[in-house]
Amino acid sequence: MKLSRKGFLKASAATGLFAAGAASTKPALNAFSTKTEASQENVEQGEWIASVCQGCTAWCAVQVYRIDGRATKVRGNPNAKANHGHSCVRSHIGLQQVYDPDRVKQPMKRTNPNKGRDEDPEFVPISWEEAMDTIAEKIIELRENNETHKFSVWRGRYTSNNGILYGNLPKIIGSPNNISHSSICAESEKFGRYYTERYWGYADYDHEKALYEIFWGGDPIATNRQVPHTASIWGELSDRATLACVDPRFSTTAAKSDEWMPVIPGEDGAIASAIAHVILTEGLWYKPFVGDFTDGQNRFVEGEDVDEDDFEEIQTHGLVKWWNLELKDKTPEWAAERSGIEADQIYRVARGFANAAPKAISFSSPGSSMTIRGGYTAMTQAALNGLVGSADNEGGVISNGISVPNNGFPDPDDYIDEIAANGLEQERIDWGGRLELPALKDSASGGVKVTNTVADAVLAEDPYNLKVVLSYWTNFNFSNQGTDRWDRALAKIPFMVHMTVNPAEQTHFADIVLPVPHSQFERQSPVAGSNGNLHRHLHLQNRVIESPFDIRVDETEIPWMLGEALEKKGFSNLIDYFRNEFRDPETGDAPTNAAEFDEIATKHFTHPVWDPTFEKDGDQIDGWEEYKRLGTWNTNRYEFRQKWDGNWGTETGQFEFYSETLKAALQDHADKHNVSIDDVMEATFNTVRGDGAFVPHYEPAKRVGDESEYPLIFMEHRSKLNREARSANTSWYQEFKDIDLGDEAWDDVAKLNPKDAAELGIENGDMVRLVTPEGQIEVKAKLWEGTRPGVVAKCYGQGHWAYGHIASLDRRRQIARGGNNNIILAPVHEALSGSGARHGGQTRVRVEKV
Ligand SMILES: Nc1nc2c(c(=O)[nH]1)N[C@H]1C(S)=C(S)[C@@H](COP(=O)(O)OP(=O)(O)OC[C@H]3O[C@@H](n4cnc5c(=O)[nH]c(N)nc54)[C@H](O)[C@@H]3O)O[C@H]1N2
Ligand SMILES: Nc1nc2c(c(=O)[nH]1)N[C@H]1C(S)=C(S)[C@@H](COP(=O)(O)OP(=O)(O)OC[C@H]3O[C@@H](n4cnc5c(=O)[nH]c(N)nc54)[C@H](O)[C@@H]3O)O[C@H]1N2
Ligand code: SF4
Ligand SMILES: [Mo]
């Protein structure tokens, strides 16, 4: 930054003024904290430009400081009410990603026809035209052979424009196989809330009013979905509320909580049922929500059945059934034996939690539900919010799918011809909806697309092999449990296109590699961010910098160019759909090229939020330019109790402890396969039989591996610095890796409790081999009291063998830095929700000194 002395004085005066005059009492601590007013000719002035961080599923609105055409700094966007000016460490790591010298810089094609980890793809640069022409040719081939269902689009992270590439493009080509990563992300957590209060999505929390919070494997000041907001109010929250963290590992949240409950992995359900038991036997449920015995006398006595007629419920359905079927015997003493948590602590937490009712939050997370039987665990955690009346209430949990206004995308139906319609009717590749994989999203059998089974399906050619795959923002042979299957499946797919920022493990198997923009800095796209701080929003990513590379936007420009290439080969439906159906909302113009299409798609989608003539409950924005400048549109603050009094949307209209909604979904699934619901329970590895399947209940942890051969339990967590698994090729990630408690910079350690280590004769820093029935990795041992004895804890995110020169120890020789957990984790599922079950100590492990 060129700044004369005079300019500097002016600039700092402006900064000082801002700090004094702003409503915030916090001083502006850095030179970039506000735009300065200096106007001297020799002063080069930078600018804060709104965008969105996609480092995780918080999707925070941010601002990026651009000077000299370079992105230099990031901060939270103060216009966004969910993160109100805050962002987390990972938003800054984005800077090193966008300027990563290892990025894909131009389209490339594979010249080595053999695929495998040991095969050099021998990529050579090609033009965009050649790339598109080749892809179009492959698609036309499928059309000619009436096998368009063998086309598939794979999606990892995405923007709200994904409705074009992921949503409608496969329909026009004619394939039911658009496969997202959602099922390896967090679906079982959503399952719990859906089958109690019918909401499939991430919850929001009124941390500002809560008096008690239980975090079930949630570490919301380090990970999860609202880190900037939660971290910014944590001090005040922990002063006001009592906080309990259930996690086998001493997480950052555990370190800052009043209670740490280092549960045996996968046994959370025992504690949750016992908390409910205490709340009922001690008469602590929130009566204005749940109701009471007709004569006011508590008949919830350990071991005794209760007559349903004696209890009158208000907002809920099936409390007495829940008690009779599940809770009456589930004492804290019983739970202590299973969970490894002392009964005293369970009593204390149960009482504290219930005494704070209704301002008591049971905070679910993938940690305790993305486990083999975790759908029911998530249900019990959600049901606790019903017991204390915090569901949809002040100081509680908001599970309400208020949608932000948007235009969606035009209906593609008129562009689906006979060949495509036939393809769309074929069985899906992912096995979702099969007997052993109900994947019951939105009550529909097969409602979830099951990501990780795609590898099995391809290998077994059941129901068929895939022939043409377009994959974006994914790295499935790294991010799915059982990576070896993915390597083999990817080698078997004849033609795969990877649209990626970095060449990654998946790229190694690609036939064509397409360079795409880094989401935070190089594209303009709408992002409907997670709800947070009682607001929802529609953010806008902006093209903060001109990319130095030959990139195209994956979700808009590439589909357009593919449409043009297909048109040249005689199939114009895709490009016709784009040309005929999309219009610039301001000018009415149709798009004539890829760049225009990109801009028009975004303007179209977001039109209602920036056009002041649309009525909406939220910010008023005066036009498109203003929206670009602000970078976000916020809803008004959520008004509580919208679901109360019969609006829960469940089968009974009530908050369901006995889930008629789940019963109907399971019945539907069972009927489809001509079996009983008990058969479904057996096929999905659940132990429950009969009516118990419809109430939140304890299921014992299920693990892969025999205890005699694999004596310890393996568990994992994510890093404060993980942008999912995308940030490992930055030096900031590696240099600051020890920000994760117990971890080491530039390394990837297995954290063993010193007691276990002593028994195994392992010392700090020894190289060890972690062996599971699925595979093995070699990493350094770290002796750390923060791991529960009997458990090996390791962070996820390292172990890249093909992600760049920092992520790998030796990129050329494919030597990873550390080990990818997914090599040793088994490809198992929480089948009811179709989720990949990475948690709950799903596999046992043997630790050998190398
Ligand atoms: N820093 C960071 N934040 C992120 C992301 C990221 O990559 N990095 N990714 C985003 C994404 S895509 C998602 S889906 C969310 C995930 O949201 P999170 O809530 O962060 O989910 P996980 O990291 O899968 O698991 C959370 C915790 O579960 C604990 N755990 C493991 N097994 C068990 C168990 O059996 N019982 C209990 N009680 N705890 C257990 C782990 O120690 C870990 O602390 O986070 C988002 N936020
Ligand atoms: N063991 C274990 N496995 C896990 C998890 C875990 O905690 N533990 N987390 C799970 C979860 S919650 C999720 S959501 C999944 C995520 O899994 P995936 O969806 O497979 O995503 P990533 O592994 O993050 O890899 C994303 C790829 O996108 C590329 N990329 C980076 N930035 C951009 C961009 O801006 N645009 C495009 N087009 N590409 C980009 C990168 O180069 C990388 O190749 O992993 C799951 N797998
Ligand atoms: S990494 Fe996630 S929490 Fe952090 S700023 Fe980005 S979107 Fe927000
Ligand atoms: Mo995720």
User: Domain with 293 in it: what CATH number?
Assistant: 3.40.228.10
Q: State whether 730 and 834 are in the same domain.
A: yes
Q: State whether 728 and 818 are in the same domain.
A: yes
For residue 821, what is the domain's CATH number?
A: 2.40.40.20
Instruction: Please tell me the distance from the alpha carbon of residue 404 to that of residue 617, in angstroms, as a whole number.
Output: 9
Instruction: Please tell me the distance from the alpha carbon of residue 595 to that of residue 553, in angstroms, as a whole number.
Output: 9
Q: pLDDT tens digits, residue range 260-298? A: 999 999 999 999 999 999 999 999 999 999 999 999 999
The arrangement of strands across the sheet holding 537-543 comes to: 522-527, 537-543, 632-634
- Residue with the nearest Cα to atom 2 of ligand 3? 56
- Tell me the residue ranges of DSSP E strands in 296-440: 311-313, 316-317, 360-363, 397-398
Cis peptide bond prior to 463, omega within 30° of 0? yes
Instruction: Please tell me the distance from the alpha carbon of residue 721 to that of residue 738, in angstroms, as a whole number.
Output: 10
| Centroid of ligand 4 to alpha carbon of 379 (angstroms) | 19
> Does a structural domain hold residue 592?
no
Pocket residue to mutate for ligand 2, from 184, 547, 556, most atoms within 8 A of Cβ: 184
Helix/strand/coil for 75: strand
- Reply yes or no on whether the pLDDT at 69 is more than 90: yes
End-to-end CA distance of the chain: 52
Question: What is the atom index within ligand 1 of the atom nearest the CA of 185?
Answer: 14
Pocket residue to mutate for ligand 1, from 223, 363, 481, 698, most atoms within 8 A of Cβ: 223
Question: What is the atom index within ligand 1 of the atom nearest the CA of 719?
Answer: 1
Q: pLDDT tens digits, residue range 657-712? A: 999 999 999 999 999 999 999 999 999 999 999 999 999 999 999 999 999 999 99
Q: State whether 226 and 369 are in the same domain.
A: yes
Question: What is the atom index within ligand 3 of the atom nearest the CA of 62?
Answer: 5
| Centroid of ligand 2 to alpha carbon of 811 (angstroms) | 19
| Smallest-distance ligand from the CA of 719 | 1
For the segment 623-644, the average pLDDT, to the nearest whole number, is: 97
Tokens describing residue 656: 């369901």
> Does a structural domain hold residue 157?
no
Q: State whether 205 and 347 are in the same domain.
A: yes
- Residue with the nearest Cα to atom 42 of ligand 2? 502
For residue 33, the 8-state DSSP code is S
- What pLDDT shows up at residue 20? 32
For the segment 479-505, the average pLDDT, to the nearest whole number, is: 98
The arrangement of strands across the sheet holding 360-363 comes to: 259-261, 242-246, 212-216, 360-363
| Centroid of ligand 1 to alpha carbon of 367 (angstroms) | 5
For the segment 352-378, the average pLDDT, to the nearest whole number, is: 98
| Centroid of ligand 4 to alpha carbon of 184 (angstroms) | 7
> Does a structural domain hold residue 673?
no
For residue 151, the 8-state DSSP code is E
For the segment 27-31, the average pLDDT, to the nearest whole number, is: 42
Q: State whether 221 and 367 are in the same domain.
A: yes
Average pLDDT of the residues of the chain: 95
| Centroid of ligand 2 to alpha carbon of 53 (angstroms) | 14
Q: Which helix (H) or strand (E) holds 776?
A: strand 776-783
Question: What is the atom index within ligand 1 of the atom nearest the CA of 723?
Answer: 7
The pairs formed by 258-263 with CB atoms below 8 angstroms and a separation of 24 or more are 259/345, 259/348, 259/349, 261/339, 261/341, 261/345, 261/346, 261/349, 262/340, 262/341, 262/788, 263/339, 263/340, 263/341, 263/788
| Centroid of ligand 1 to alpha carbon of 468 (angstroms) | 33
- What pLDDT shows up at residue 244? 98
Tokens describing residue 450: 């099951």
Domain boundary among 568, 600, 635: 635
| Centroid of ligand 3 to alpha carbon of 49 (angstroms) | 17
Tokens describing residue 255: 């370190």
| Centroid of ligand 3 to alpha carbon of 724 (angstroms) | 11
Residues in contact with ligand 1 (CB, 6 Å cut-off): 56-57, 185-186, 216-219, 222-225, 246-249, 251, 263, 265-266, 268, 365-368, 371, 715, 717-720, 722-724, 839-841
Please, which residues have CB within 8 angstroms of residue 590's CB and are 6 or more apart in sequence? 579, 580, 582, 583, 584
799, HSE (Cβ side, Cα atoms, 13 Å)? 23
pLDDT confidence bin for 497, thresholds 50/70/90: very high
- Residue with the nearest Cα to atom 7 of ligand 1? 724
| Smallest-distance ligand from the CA of 60 | 3
| Smallest-distance ligand from the CA of 842 | 1
- φ/ψ of 510, rounded to 5, equals -80, 155
Question: What is the atom index within ligand 2 of the atom nearest the CA of 472?
Answer: 38
| Centroid of ligand 2 to alpha carbon of 723 (angstroms) | 8
| Centroid of ligand 1 to alpha carbon of 811 (angstroms) | 28
For residue 528, what is the domain's CATH number?
A: 3.30.200.210
Instruction: Please tell me the distance from the alpha carbon of residue 373 to that of residue 369, in angstroms, as a whole number.
Output: 8
How many structural domains is the chain composed of? 3
313, HSE (Cβ side, Cα atoms, 13 Å)? 24
Sign of the dihedral through C-alpha 688, 694, 697, 703 = positive
Q: State whether 624 and 750 are in the same domain.
A: no
Whether residue 227 contacts residue 88, with contact meaning beta carbons closer than 8 Å, is answered with yes
> Does a structural domain hold residue 129?
no
pLDDT confidence bin for 29, thresholds 50/70/90: very low
Tokens describing residue 671: 């009927």
Question: What is the atom index within ligand 1 of the atom nearest the CA of 222?
Answer: 1
The pairs formed by 162-170 with CB atoms below 8 angstroms and a separation of 24 or more are 162/555, 163/408, 163/409, 163/605, 164/409, 164/555, 164/556, 164/559, 164/601, 165/470, 165/472, 165/554, 165/555, 165/556, 165/558, 165/559, 166/555, 167/409, 168/409, 168/412, 168/577, 169/559, 169/562, 169/574
Residue 279, exposed/middle/buried by CB under 10 A (0-12, 13-18, 19+)?
Answer: buried
Residue with tokens 């280590």: 757
Using alpha carbons only, how large is the chain's radius of gyration in Å?
27
> Does a structural domain hold residue 770?
yes
- Residue with the nearest Cα to atom 9 of ligand 1? 56
Q: State whether 215 and 69 are in the same domain.
A: no
Residues in contact with ligand 2 (CB, 6 Å cut-off): 156, 181, 184-185, 472-476, 478-479, 499-502, 504, 516, 518-519, 554, 716, 718, 724-726, 796, 821-822, 825, 838
| Smallest-distance ligand from the CA of 220 | 1
The arrangement of strands across the sheet holding 178-180 comes to: 123-125, 108-110, 512-515, 495-500, 468-472, 151-155, 178-180
Domain boundary among 400, 427, 453: 400
Sign of the dihedral through C-alpha 397, 402, 408, 413 = positive
Q: State whether 204 and 77 are in the same domain.
A: no
Whether residue 349 contacts residue 275, with contact meaning beta carbons closer than 8 Å, is answered with yes
Sign of the dihedral through C-alpha 213, 219, 225, 227 = positive
Q: Which helix (H) or strand (E) holds 453?
A: helix 453-460
> Does a structural domain hold residue 559?
no
- Residue with the nearest Cα to atom 41 of ligand 1? 717
Predicted TM-score (pTM) of the model is 0.95
From the CB of residue 391, how many other CB atoms can be counted at a distance below 10 Å?
33
| Centroid of ligand 1 to alpha carbon of 592 (angstroms) | 44
Q: State whether 210 and 305 are in the same domain.
A: yes
Query: How far is residue 396 from each of residues 203, 213, 641, measured CA to CA in Å?
Result: 10, 9, 10
From the CB of residue 456, how many other CB atoms can be counted at a distance below 10 Å?
18
For residue 263, the 8-state DSSP code is P
pLDDT confidence bin for 42, thresholds 50/70/90: low
Q: State whether 217 and 309 are in the same domain.
A: yes
- Residue with the nearest Cα to atom 8 of ligand 3? 60
- Chain centre to alpha carbon of residue 390: 24
Pocket residue to mutate for ligand 2, from 726, 825, 843, most atoms within 8 A of Cβ: 726
- What pLDDT shows up at residue 14? 35
Using a pLDDT cut of 90, give the percent of the chain over it.
94
| Centroid of ligand 2 to alpha carbon of 202 (angstroms) | 18
Q: pLDDT tens digits, residue range 105-160? A: 999 999 999 999 999 999 999 999 999 999 999 999 999 999 999 999 999 999 99
- φ/ψ of 841, rounded to 5, equals 60, 50
> Does a structural domain hold residue 742?
yes
Question: What is the atom index within ligand 2 of the atom nearest the CA of 499?
Answer: 38
- Residue with the nearest Cα to atom 7 of ligand 2? 718
Q: State whether 247 and 365 are in the same domain.
A: yes
- Residue with the nearest Cα to atom 1 of ligand 3? 55
Instruction: Please tell me the distance from the alpha carbon of residue 795 to that of residue 776, in angstroms, as a whole number.
Output: 15
Whether residue 392 contacts residue 643, with contact meaning beta carbons closer than 8 Å, is answered with yes
- Residue with the nearest Cα to atom 34 of ligand 2? 518
Residue 661, exposed/middle/buried by CB under 10 A (0-12, 13-18, 19+)?
Answer: buried
| Centroid of ligand 3 to alpha carbon of 540 (angstroms) | 15
From the CB of residue 638, how many other CB atoms can be counted at a distance below 10 Å?
17
- Residue with the nearest Cα to atom 37 of ligand 2? 473
Domain boundary among 372, 400, 428: 400
- φ/ψ of 704, rounded to 5, equals -90, 140
Question: What is the atom index within ligand 1 of the atom nearest the CA of 157?
Answer: 12
- Describe the chain by its helix, strand, coil percentages, rounded to 5: 35, 20, 50
Residues in contact with ligand 3 (CB, 6 Å cut-off): 53, 55-56, 58-60, 87-88, 90-91, 227-228, 723
- Reply yes or no on whether the pLDDT at 810 is more than 70: yes
Q: Report the range of poorest mean pLDDT among 23-32, 112-121, 573-582.
A: 23-32
Q: State whether 226 and 88 are in the same domain.
A: no
Tokens describing residue 756: 């276990």
| Smallest-distance ligand from the CA of 804 | 2
- What pLDDT shows up at residue 19? 32
Helix/strand/coil for 431: coil
Q: 360-363 and 212-216: which strand pairing?
A: parallel
- What pLDDT shows up at residue 530? 85
- Reply yes or no on whether the pLDDT at 566 is more than 70: yes
- What pLDDT shows up at residue 529? 81
**Structural domain span for residue 86:** 46-99+522-550+616-635
> Does a structural domain hold residue 333?
yes
| Centroid of ligand 4 to alpha carbon of 224 (angstroms) | 9
Residue 563, exposed/middle/buried by CB under 10 A (0-12, 13-18, 19+)?
Answer: buried
Query: How far is residue 391 from each of residues 266, 400, 545, measured CA to CA in Å?
Result: 25, 10, 43
From the CB of residue 588, how many other CB atoms can be counted at a distance below 10 Å?
7
Instruction: Please tell me the distance from the alpha carbon of residue 16 to that of residue 5, in angstroms, as a whole number.
Output: 16
Question: What is the atom index within ligand 2 of the atom nearest the CA of 185?
Answer: 12
- What pLDDT shows up at residue 41? 56
Comparing 26 with 68, which gets the higher pLDDT? 68
Residues pairing with 836 in the sheet: 829
Residue with tokens 């389209």: 107
Residue 141, exposed/middle/buried by CB under 10 A (0-12, 13-18, 19+)?
Answer: middle
Question: What is the atom index within ligand 3 of the atom nearest the CA of 89?
Answer: 4
- Reply yes or no on whether the pLDDT at 8 is more than 70: no
- What pLDDT shows up at residue 403? 82
- Reply yes or no on whether the pLDDT at 34 is more than 60: no
